[in-house]
């Protein structure tokens, strides 16, 4: 094996090891990849500006063919693993990142796969035209509106029943109470509400649950009423209501008609959550010029490349000059990256004080009352504890926000009693920290 540094000049833009491992779907895959990333297991490796490929001796008779498209990034491997990217793809990129993969001509199979990807990419804008056409079919759209309306009327009855009979019964109720209601919402094509309703089953197990449950029921009924009066709402608020209920907007529509904002966007945090075998990645951005927050969502279903993949192109602690296209709504938040104008660089976001953040949150709630998980980026906060020992973020003026952390130790270690820039999601339980920037340590994912 040659010295890694020898080959650095030929391919300029090799990724850091951390960036490769950041693509791993879980810690086990990252660890497994480290084991496969031995030059001895690989043959026929090579790379060019757009792709890396190689064949890996696995347990089977024929080696696995692995190829990574660096632009997206995207991966292809003939192994049967259900993880995505699989350990072979990660290991290949690790070898490449160490400089152990030299440049060369693409073998036929890799070229073919890249070609097929490019074709699909070109075909992609055309493909969703069919469902869009279906949605434009007035009869179909009308049928759905009616079903949703019936479903929400049913939900409204259910909500009023809960309050009429008394919430006290919820404490002993089985999860089926909420599960059945959630199922009926799926049947009524109002799937956007089924997750939140199903999630309510866990509320009666927490302290202070009666108030919390009443809040959620009240906001659900507010949504039902808003939908019933949708004709009278301003168009942006109507979009917000429809999005909450589960009417989706095609990506192409967002890219073509959504509000466009170009800025230097700092990636302030990223969080994966899994529900019903679907992993959702929430990546938070904050514009340096506009101070606007944005949320980029990506989804991955287990094992299937067709189920989409988690977006690994936005790394926490970096800043990228890009134009975002926002989904429509009264408080635009969810967005797509439409265009990039340069590579990502390291960047610390400019945060706000706690008073400023709370005012921003209140203004956002006035536009979208159903907001949950609003992004905070707090500048120069220190950690504090109240008499009960609960952790807070405290700014220079003495304002404090409670933190919601299962493991506070990394944050404590990094802050060490000094000031940090702290990003997180603000919700009913407090601020859930995502990233801390400290002068010596740089960005630290919590």
| Footprint on this chain of another protein (rule: CB under 8 A) | 1, 17-18, 27, 30-31, 34, 38, 40, 156, 159-161, 163-168, 210-211, 213-215, 217-219, 221-222, 225, 354-355, 358, 361-362, 365-366, 369, 382-386, 392, 394, 398-402, 407, 409-410, 412-418, 428, 438, 440-441, 444
State phi, psi for 377 to the nearest 5 degrees.
Answer: -130, 105
Cβ at position 274, least distance to another protein in Å: 20
Cβ at position 429, least distance to another protein in Å: 12
Q: Are strands 335-340 and 318-326 parallel, antiparallel or unpaired?
A: antiparallel
Q: How many Å apart are CA 341 and CA 301, to the nearest integer?
A: 30
Cβ at position 336, least distance to another protein in Å: 28
Cβ at position 247, least distance to another protein in Å: 22
Instruction: Between 320 and 383, name the residue whose CB sits nearer to another protein.
Output: 383
Residues with Cβ within 8 Å of residue 334, at least 6 apart in sequence? 243, 294, 295, 296, 297, 326, 327
Residues with Cβ within 8 Å of residue 68, at least 6 apart in sequence? 51, 52, 53, 74, 75, 76, 85, 89, 92, 93, 96
Whats the size of the chain, residue-wise? 446
Cβ at position 387, least distance to another protein in Å: 9
Instruction: Between 98 and 252, name the residue whose CB sits nearer to another protein.
Output: 98
Cβ at position 207, least distance to another protein in Å: 13
Instruction: Between 69 and 216, name the residue whose CB sits nearer to another protein.
Output: 216
Helices (H), 49-175: 87-97, 108-123, 129-136, 138-165
Instruction: Between 30 and 338, name the residue whose CB sits nearer to another protein.
Output: 30
Instruction: Between 3 and 13, name the residue whose CB sits nearer to another protein.
Output: 3
* Cα separations in angstroms, 83 against 89, 236, 273: 10, 39, 16
Residue 275 in 3-state DSSP?
A: strand
Residues with Cβ within 8 Å of residue 140, at least 6 apart in sequence? 134
Instruction: Between 132 and 222, name the residue whose CB sits nearer to another protein.
Output: 222
Instruction: Between 146 and 225, name the residue whose CB sits nearer to another protein.
Output: 225
Q: How many Å apart are CA 374 and CA 357, to the nearest integer?
A: 10
Q: How many Å apart are CA 196 and CA 189, to the nearest integer?
A: 15
Cβ at position 4, least distance to another protein in Å: 9
């Amino acid at each position: 094996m040659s010295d890694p540094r020898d080959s650095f000049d030929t391919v300029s833009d090799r990724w850091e090891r951390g960036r490769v491992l950041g693509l791993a779907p879980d810690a086990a895959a990252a660890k497994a990849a480290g084991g496969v990333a031995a030059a001895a297991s690989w043959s026929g490796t090579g790379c060019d500006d757009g792709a890396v490929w190689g064949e890996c001796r696995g347990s089977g008779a024929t080696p696995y063919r692995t190829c990574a498209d660096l632009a997206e990034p995207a991966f292809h491997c003939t192994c049967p693993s259900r993880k995505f990217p699989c350990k072979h793809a990660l290991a290949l990129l690790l070898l490449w990142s160490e400089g152990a993969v030299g440049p060369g001509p693409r073998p036929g199979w890799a070229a073919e796969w890249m070609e097929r990807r490019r074709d699909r990419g070109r075909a992609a804008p055309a493909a969703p035209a069919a469902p869009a056409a279906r949605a434009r079919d007035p009869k179909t759209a009308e049928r759905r509106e009616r079903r949703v309306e019936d479903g929400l009327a049913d939900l409204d009855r259910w909500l009023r029943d809960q309050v009429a009979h008394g919430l006290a019964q919820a404490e002993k109720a089985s999860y089926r109470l909420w599960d059945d209601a959630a199922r009926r919402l799926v049947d009524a094509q109002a799937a956007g509400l089924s997750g939140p309703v199903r999630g309510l089953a866990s509320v009666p197990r927490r302290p202070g649950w009666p108030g919390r449950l009443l809040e959620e029921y009240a906001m659900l009924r507010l949504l039902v009423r808003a939908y019933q009066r949708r004709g009278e709402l301003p168009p942006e608020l109507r979009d917000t209501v429809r999005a909450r209920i589960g009417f989706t907007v095609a990506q192409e529509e967002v890219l073509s008609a959504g509000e466009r904002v170009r800025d230097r966007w700092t990636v302030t945090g990223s969080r994966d959550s899994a529900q019903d075998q679907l992993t959702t990645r929430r990546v938070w951005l904050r514009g340096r010029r506009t101070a606007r927050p944005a949320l980029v969502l990506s989804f991955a279903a287990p094992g299937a490349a067709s189920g989409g993949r988690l977006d690994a192109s936005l790394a926490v602690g970096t800043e990228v000059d890009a134009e975002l296209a926002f989904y429509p709504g009264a408080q635009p938040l969810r967005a797509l990256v439409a265009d990039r104008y340069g590579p990502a660089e390291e960047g610390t976001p400019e945060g706000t004080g706690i008073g400023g953040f709370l005012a921003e949150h209140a203004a956002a709630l006035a536009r979208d009352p159903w907001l949950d998980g609003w992004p905070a980026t707090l500048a120069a906060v220190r950690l504090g504890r109240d008499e009960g020992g609960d952790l807070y973020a405290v700014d220079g003026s003495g304002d404090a926000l409670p933190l919601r952390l299962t493991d506070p130790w990394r944050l404590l270690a990094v802050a060490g009693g000094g000031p940090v820039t702290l990003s997180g999601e603000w919700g009913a339980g407090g601020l859930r920290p995502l990233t801390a920037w400290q002068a010596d340590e740089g960005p630290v994912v919590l």
